Structure 1
Amino acid sequence: MSSPPPRPISVVELDLAGPDGPVLSLRPVPGGPALRAGAVYALVRVEGRPAATVLGTVADGEDPAEVLGSLARARLAETGPRTDAERLAAARPLARPDVLARPDVLARPDVLARPDVLARAREGLPPPRTSVVVATRERPEQLARALDSLLVQDHPDVEIVVVDNAPRTTDTHELVTRKYADRVRYVREDTPGLAVAHNAGAAAAEGEVLAFTDDDVIADPHWLTALTEPFAADPGLGCVTGLILPARLATPAQILLESHGGFAKGFAPRLYDPAEPPADEPLFPFTAGSFGSGANMAFRAAALRQAGGFDPATGTGTAARGGDDLYAFVAVLSAGFRLRYTAEALVWHHHRDTWQDLRNQAYGYGAGLTAYLTATLVRHPRLLPALLARLPRGLAHARAMTARRGETAEGGVPGEHGTHHHPWPRSLSRLERRGMLYGPIGYAKARAQAAPRKGAGR
Structure 2
Amino acid sequence: MATAVLDLDLVNLPASISGLNTYKEAYILIRYNGHPIGRTYVPLQNGTIEMNDCYERMLAATSETRKLTWLKEYLNYDIRNTIDSKPIKVTIAICTRDRTEDLRRCLDSLINLPDDGQEIIVIDNAPKTSDTKNLVSSYSTVRYVLEQNPGLNNARNRALQEAKHEIVAFTDDDAVPEKNWLRAIIKNFNNPLVYCVTGLVMPLELETEAQEAFERYSPFNKGFWRTIHSNKTRSPLATGQVGAGANMALRKDVYEKVGWFDETLDAGTPTCSGGDHEMFTRILAAGYHIVYEPDALSWHRHRRSWKELCDTIYGYGVGVYSLFTCHLVRRGEFGVFKLAYQWFWLSQSRILLKSLLNKPNSHPKELILSELKGCLRGPFAYFVSRKRVKRSKNIALSAYGFHQSNHSNT
Deviations 1:268-304 (A, max 9, x none): 1111112x234xxxxx111122111110111112234
Please show how residues 409-448 of structure 1 align to structure 2 within 5 Å: 422-448=361-387
- 1:376 pairs with 2:327: yes
Does 2:236 align with 1:244?
A: no
* CA apart distance, 1:375: 2.4
Map residues 248-263 of structure 1 onto 2, 5 A cutoff.
Answer: 248-263=205-220
Q: Secondary structure at the match of 1:9?
A: strand
Other structure's SS at 2:62 match = helix
Partner of 2:305 in structure 1? 354
| Closer/same/farther in 2, CA of residues 292 and 127 from structure 1, 3 Å limit | farther
Deviation of 1:144 after TM superposition, in Å, equals: 0.7
Q: Secondary structure at the match of 1:294?
A: coil
1:8 paired with 2:20, answer no
Letter paired with 1:40: A
Give the gaps of 5 or more residues in structure 1: 1-6, 29-33, 81-89, 94-109, 279-283, 406-418
Q: Following the alignment from structure 1 to structure 2, what is the Cα–Cα distance between the partners of residues 225 and 27? A: 31
Aligned to 1:268: 225
SS of the aligned residue for 1:431 comes to helix
| Contact kept in structure 2, 1:11 and 1:35, CA below 8 Å | no
Structure 1 398/330 Cα, relative in aligned 2: closer, same or farther at 3 Å? same
C-alpha displacement of 1:228: 2.4
What SS does the corresponding residue of 1:441 show, helix, strand or coil? helix
Q: Does 1:170 align with 2:160?
A: no
Residues 173/27 of structure 1: CA separation in 2 closer, same or farther (3 Å cut)? farther
Which residue, out of 107, 115, 118, partners 1:147? 107
- Of 5, 19, 23, the residue aligned with 2:13 is 23
**Does the residue aligned with 1:265 lie in a helix, a strand or coil?**
coil
Deviation at 1:373, TM superposition (A): 2.1
Rate the CA distance shift 1:120–1:219 in 2: closer, same or farther, 3 A.
closer
Aligned twin of 2:163: 205
Offset at residue 126 of structure 1 (A): 6.2
User: 1:453: which partner in 2?
Assistant: 392
Of 260, 279, 285 in structure 1, the residue corresponding to residue 236 of structure 2 is 285
| CA-based RMSD | 3.2
Aligned partner of 1:221 in structure 2 is 179
What letter corresponds to residue 29 of structure 2 in structure 1? L
Tell me the distance in 2 between the aligned counterparts of 1:116 and 1:198. 37
SS of 2:268's equivalent in the other structure is coil
Deviation digits for residues 182-212 of structure 1, max 9, x if unmatched? x111110111111111111111111211111
Alignment of 1:93-108 (within 5 A): none
Query: Superposition pairs for residues 312-323 of structure 1, below 5 Å?
Result: 312-323=263-274
Are the aligned partners of 1:127 and 1:231 in contact in 2 as well (CA < 8 Å)?
no
Contact 1:9 1:249 in 2 (8 A): yes
CA offsets, 1:138-172, max 9 Å, x none? 11111010011111223613111101111111100
Corresponding residue number in structure 2 for 1:60: 46
CA shift, 1:265, in A, is 0.5
Partner Cα separation in structure 1 for residue 271 and residue 43 of structure 2: 41
Distance (whole Å) between structure 2 residues aligned to residue 171 and residue 180 of structure 1: 14
Q: In structure 2, what is the Cα distance between the partners aligned to 1:126 and 1:26? A: 45
Between Structure 1 and Structure 2, how many residues are aligned? Answer: 390
The reply on whether 1:339 has 2:299 as its aligned counterpart is no
TM superposition score normalised by structure 2: 0.86
Distance 1:394 1:362 in 2: 17
Shift of 1:342: 1.2
Which residue number corresponds to residue 39 of structure 1?
Answer: 25
**Partner-residue secondary structure (3-state), 2:270:** coil
How far, CA to CA, are the matches of 2:389 and 2:313 in structure 1? Answer: 25
The equivalent residue for 2:408 is none
- Bigger shift: 61-70 or 291-300? 61-70
2:139 to 175, 180, 184: 180
Residue in 1 that maps onto 2:78: 118
| Cα distance, 1:372–1:25 mapped onto 2, change above 3 Å | farther
Letter of the structure 2 residue corresponding to residue 244 of structure 1: V
For residues 24 and 207 of structure 1, what CA distance do their matches in structure 2 show?
42
Instruction: Name the CA distance, whole Å, in 2 between partners of 1:368 and 1:120.
Output: 34
Match of 2:275 in 1: 324
Distance 1:359 1:316 in 2: 15
Asked whether the 8 Å contact 2:91–2:119 carries over to 1, the reply is yes
Task: Identify the structure with bigger relative contact order (alpha carbons < 8 Å, sequence gap 6+).
Answer: 1
The reply to whether residue 364 of structure 1 matches residue 315 of structure 2 is yes
Tell me, in whole angstroms, the C-alpha distance in 2 between the residues paired with 1:69 and 1:127. 40
**Contact 2:80-2:187 within 8 A present in 1 as well:** no
- Counterpart in the other structure of 2:93: 133
Identity in percent = 32
